[in-house]
Structure 1
Amino acid sequence: MTTIEASVTHYRYAVQWSAEDEEFVATVAEFPSLSWLADDQISALTGLEELVQSVISDMRDSGEEVPEPLATRTFSGRLNLRVTPELHRRIALEALELGKSINKHASDRLAAG
């Protein structure tokens, strides 16, 4: 088993059962094209971590930029979002009726899920 670099463990991994493959599949958000199948959850995660380590090594060797883990990224709090004119109008009217700015109303709606 290879030694996993600490930064590799900081990525956002998920492991779930795949009925189609009849195995567990591990995925990583920062590398959406990568996955690993295994008979158990731990093996799926370990296999994917080793694959990510290999991919990162190859990326560094070729001078490519390695994705920063979501856990260590900083976010500005600013979100530019394109919507249809109809939705824009509806949100603007709702905000007006509630006595809020469009930004505050949209933020409240997003936070509410």
Structure 2
Amino acid sequence: MAQKNDKYTYRVTWSEDDNEYVGICAEFPSLSWLDNTPEKALKGIRRLVAEVVSDMSGNHEPVPEPIAGKNYSGKFMVRIPPEVHRKLAIQAAESGVSLNRIASSKLSQ
């Protein structure tokens, strides 16, 4: 069975500033791990997160839930300037689709 820290969202990218690969975890934005290969950066950040989760659990602190395990309704509210709202409404009307369909299409690009 996978441990909780195996279900977190990890990413490895190149850091031009550090001239190394950096491993990060979306659920723990303050943590990172630098290494000379992407594989080592991933291994390092996963190990660091496991240590932090263990410490938090040992101190009875709340541990972040993995993003992948959360349920999303598919609904959220976003505020936009009135002129953008008008422009989207016109595009929707001209295309014969709902404003929701236009907004969803643009957000998924």
TM-score where L is the length of structure 2: 0.84
- TM-aligned CA deviation for residue 7 of structure 1: 1.6
Question: 1:95: which partner in 2?
Answer: 92
- Identity level (%): 44
- 1:2-41 correspondence to structure 2 within 5 Å: 6-41=3-38
Q: Which structure 1 segments of 5+ residues have no match?
A: none
- TM-aligned CA deviation for residue 77 of structure 1: 0.9
| Distance (whole Å) between structure 2 residues aligned to residue 90 and residue 11 of structure 1 | 38
What does the per-residue CA deviation read over 1:53-98, in whole Å, with 9 as the maximum and x for residues that have no partner?
Answer: 1222233334433222122111111121111111111111111222
Give secondary structure in 2 for the equivalent of 1:81.
coil
1:51 to 30, 48, 65: 48
Give secondary structure in 2 for the equivalent of 1:32.
strand
- Extract structure 1 runs of 4+ deviating beyond 6 A: none
| Distance (whole Å) between structure 1 residues aligned to residue 72 and residue 14 of structure 2 | 32
Alignment of 1:61 onto 2:58:
yes
| Distance (whole Å) between structure 2 residues aligned to residue 35 and residue 106 of structure 1 | 34
| Structure with the higher fraction of residues in strand conformation | 2
2:96 partner letter: G
